[in-house]
A and B are shown apart, each in its own frame.
Chain A
């Protein structure tokens, strides 16, 4: 019951945040100096003032901002984000829709990799606090955290792609002979192409999360109930995995939720490096072409996805934390 109330409360806050996201996206675009139309019109030598007015009317830019926002919002609810300025003039949502799965796939794989590597690493470092292993991982984590992801991507491409020739360095699948491959062959080809992008996008989060796991674990290991468990003669393995780890993992759910914007933001960088046709690359091309409806659509969709990701993390936390699940000591 308490859990249900908590979830309802969480979902109710979604609405205002969603409205806030749309309002800010809209304002960013419309308050920026130079209106979007002029970007398109200025490059057209045949553009007369009358034509410009007609175009403005066609895009609804002659109406008050308030009306424009409501119109845009109404479209957004049914995923009608307008049409792209690019020559193909396709609906923005269609363009985003076909690129979303790739970006989501890479991000989900990256999160999986982060969890699988960072948590054991952090736990091991905390359990062997101040040991040689702990110091080496601490230094490595610091370095990984400070390394620019796109540079690491370049180095990996240089070494595994160019020098050793083991892995492909761009695109999602091979250009030559892909059609002739069997089903498994295609899958393998995809996997080979995904290794470097997933590795690169996981790197920063990996460093961050293992550091958090370590400090969270150290914190828990100092608690009285751990001393109690040890004092009553419980085997160390059980103390660590049954008593300590479960409690240390709780805050990590929140941290993981908070790292979603960074992960999605990273897609802009690695998708443009590895030439992966995802949302990040779409964002980059729309910025370069100043394709304003596409830009705005991208910004909103990506932020709403982040919002949903954060919300999922919150719900995960509520499900995992017995204090919230049972309503005892419910704060906030």
Chain B
């Protein structure tokens, strides 16, 4: 009890209040539960999956959902539920690592632009404007055409083409924070640039970066699934929700279950991240809370 009190008096508007606000928002809680559950499923895939996701069974191809195969089987007789569960690993992994890459690049470039200003700012922001002119999927395809479409490359390419939003955000935060009194005070007392950036400005910009990251995961998962669906993302036989939908498309007229469930999984996952992200935004920044 005393420890809690101590913390509250020490930092009046940190940690506990925003967690409370997040807990009061049913949509955000739903998002948190979805994301948490998915991470659990992905981590415990080997124990949860009823079959080996790669096991081909030519006696049971394209079977509709039944007791033995809850979500049916695909054209090679593989169990769709097991492939869906293993697919969660790929989607979450690609989504989180890609956004991680984007966040690092965006934060560095945005911080440089916002902190130094002048021509550095002009140059970096002009670069951001230019990259934003490329429809992302075209740019990704152009790069992928020359690389092996492996999971590692997909993560790198999605990360390299989606950092612009974070860069703009971090720049704006830095521009407004570097004028604030506590930053000026730190400078006057002789703090080095590195110290000003890392212990005074950056910690105050963490909240919006975190929100952007959460919202970005959903987008990255959508991009990965679209690429895999087009055959230039995660390659079979590794199951990904996107390439499972390719099989769904090829058997559209005879096997509806191949199309329904992987898409539903993508939808729920992206929805979870978006709800959580919006909830975090409202909770972390009381200024823009809708009443």
Contacts and interface: CB of A to CB of B under 8 A. Distances in A.
Given A151-B266, A261-B133, A269 B226 contact: yes
A76 interface: no
Interface stretch (B7-15, B43-51, B195-203, B246-254): B246-254
B42 interface: no
A299 B130 contact: no
A146 B230 CA distance: 19
A155 B131 contact: no
A145 interface: yes
Contacts of A142: 271, 274-275
Contact of A306 (B134, B225, B245, B256): B134
Given A20-B126, A151-B245, A299 B142 contact: yes
Considering residues B137, B143, B232, B262, which has the most beta carbons from chain A within 10 angstroms of its beta carbon? B137
B135 A302 contact: yes
A143 B274 CA distance: 10
Contact of B256 (A145, A158, A269, A307): A158
Contacts of B230: 268-269, 272, 284
The interface residues of chain B, by DSSP majority, are classed as: helix
Interface in B147-165: 147
Given A146-B270, A269-B230, A155 B135 contact: no
Nearest to A268: B137
A261 B132 contact: yes
B218 interface: yes
Interface in A6-25: 16-17, 20-21, 24-25
B134 A24 contact: yes
Nearest to A35: B146
Contacts of A61: none
B24 to A, nearest CB: 15
Contact of A283 (B138, B143, B253): B138
A29 B130 contact: no
B52 interface: no
A248 interface: no
A154 B245 contact: yes
A265 B147 contact: no
Contact of B130 (A24, A143, A148): A24
Contacts of B271: 142-143, 146
Interface residues of B, number: 46
Contacts, number: 145
A207 to B, nearest CB: 11
B19 interface: no
A306 B232 CA distance: 24
A20 B123 CA distance: 11
B81 to A, nearest CB: 18
B259 A265 contact: no
A321 B137 CA distance: 33
A306 to B, nearest CB: 5
A273 B139 CA distance: 20
A264 B225 CA distance: 18
A313 B222 CA distance: 27
A162 interface: yes
Most buried by B among A145, A148, A283, A290: A148
B263 interface: yes
B290 interface: yes
B142 A17 contact: no
B40 interface: no
A155 to B, nearest CB: 7
A158 B126 contact: no
A157 B249 CA distance: 10
Contacts of A296: 142
A298 B138 contact: yes
Contact of A264 (B135, B248, B270): B135
Contacts of B253: 162
Given A28-B143, A151-B267, A299 B138 contact: yes
B108 interface: no
B285 interface: no
Interface of B: 126-127, 129-139, 141-147, 218, 222, 225-226, 229-232, 245, 248-249, 252-253, 256, 259-260, 262-263, 266-268, 270-271, 274-275, 290
Given A21-B133, A148-B225, 14 more contacts: A17-B133, A21-B134, A28-B139, A32-B143, A32-B145, A143-B267, A146-B266, A151-B259, A158-B256, A268-B141, A287-B141, A298-B138, A306-B135, A307-B133
21 contacts: A20-B129, A28-B139, A29-B146, A32-B143, A145-B274, A146-B267, A148-B225, A148-B266, A151-B259, A152-B263, A154-B252, A158-B256, A162-B252, A261-B133, A264-B138, A265-B136, A269-B230, A273-B249, A287-B142, A299-B138, A304-B133
